Amino acid sequence: MQHVRHVAFLLVAGLLSGPVAAQGASCRYYGREIQSAIKQHVQALRAVELETIDRIAGLDTRPYEFLVAQARNAAGIIADQKGLADEDALRRCRNYVRPVRHICAAAATMLVKLIEEQIAGATLVSTRRSYSDSMPHCERSMGFTELRTAFRSVD
């Protein structure tokens, strides 16, 4: 009888250690996982934003092309296709999992666009609005306080 219980226990333990448990871990700990994966790149975006604002004010001498290249680099890492696909797969989770990578990728894309518009000579209010709507959500997901810059103030 004890042998039967031992075999049943091993069978149940084997089932729980398979894909079901792995799926639960991904759903449960995604917030921490995504923070460790992209937090430094979101911080890099914030630094580029501040440097670009300083450049506009004449306080930074780095060319816009350098700044947009830095923003593109961070955006490319955040908007990693495999990472975005993995995040899409979290729709299977029982509880809602916030699409942090998608939110931060959208913000990164808008920052790149803002700098490109600055290079062209004019930033559009619609781009600034999109950026000012998306970046604070990304920052909060990373545990950062929201920056207040000219790119985020929409007249």
What does the pLDDT read at residue 123?
81
pLDDT at position 94 over 70: yes
Query: Is 20's pLDDT higher than 70?
Result: no
Q: Where are the domains of the chain?
A: 32-142
Q: Is the full-model pTM beyond 0.95? A: no
High-pLDDT (> 70) share of the chain, % = 83
DSSP per residue, the chain? -HHHHHHHHHHHHHHHTSHHHHHHHHHHHHHHHHHHHHHHHHHHHHHHHHHHHHHHTTS--S-HHHHHHHHHHHHHHHT-HHHHHHHHHGGGSSS----HHHHHHHHHHHHHHHHHHHHHT---HHHHHHHHHHHHHHHHHHTPPPP--TTT---
122 against 129, higher pLDDT: 129
